[in-house]
Amino acid sequence: MQSLADTKLTIYGEQFTSRMLIGSALYPSPEVMQAAIKTSGAEIVTVSLRRQQTLQAGDDFWSLIKEMGLRVLPNTAGCHSVKEAVTLAQMCREVFATDWIKLELIGDEYNLQPDPIALLEATEILLKDGFKVLPYCTDDLVLCQRLDALGCEVLMPWGAPIGTGKGLLNPYNLQTIRTRLPHQTLIVDAGLGLPSHACQALELGYDAVLLNSAVAGAGCPITMAKAFAASTVAGRLSYLAKAMPQKEVASPSTPTLGMPFWHAN
């Protein structure tokens, strides 16, 4: 039987019950945002100083976030240079009174792919400045190994480009990262569109998923948030249970030994 510790998500020494992190942007209204986040059961919510919609801007938006009593994870969404990302991270630390930062540093506008070279440089600077960095990166093993070597305790490779909803485009790459970095807290961030995508990520052994568009952009964000919450639980339990081995040949689930034989007269 699994111990209670197996059900906890650990991020920089802090433990959480939910294995879903959720974003706060793109919802049709602040009320729907708040209801969807509560329904999701998420204990960590991402926020951006740059990309909140007008209807979510200002003191009213921050009040809604604070009312939920969740762990705030600021991000550097929209940054394209090391200097820009570091400056915004420092601003976030002042505004949100936290040394946690989701480091997002985009290198290409077409698919919003993170810039691996700049990401490594910014990560090193922020870690030395006392930040607890959660870098958003591609599913590149060597990049993840370099980020791990710098001292990151959490890595967040993408499943697919941001907002595409395509799910896990390269499960092999993600599985390889999991296998090669068994000690790391790994979170699939970006590209998820369906609860089944989140379930698959957890079944691969990933510790959690981070999503926004899949919930905020759904026809009913509140119901979708509930579906994703259930899928992360199912995926984690499936991983802990250890799936049956796949076979090339069919085998009966009911044994034939001892079955009666009927003889015609």
* Residue 257 CB neighbour total at 10 angstroms: 4
- Which residues sit in the known binding site for 1-deoxy-D-xylulose 5-phosphate? 163, 190-191, 212-213
- DSSP bridge partners of 255: none
Catalytic residue among 102, 166, 226, 247: 102
DSSP 8-state secondary structure symbol assigned to residue 6:
G
Q: Can you tell me the distance from the alpha carbon of 24 to that of 216, in angstroms, rounded to the nearest whole number?
A: 8
Known binding-site residues equal 163, 190-191, 212-213
Closest by Cα among 232, 261, 223, 260 to 39: 223
Cβ-based burial of 69 (10 A; exposed 0-12, middle 13-18, buried ≥19): exposed
Catalytic: 102?
Answer: yes
CB half-sphere exposure, 31, CA atoms < 13 A: 0
Nearest-angstrom CA–CA distance, 213 and 95: 24
- State the amino acid at position 151 in one-letter form: G
Give the active site residues.
102
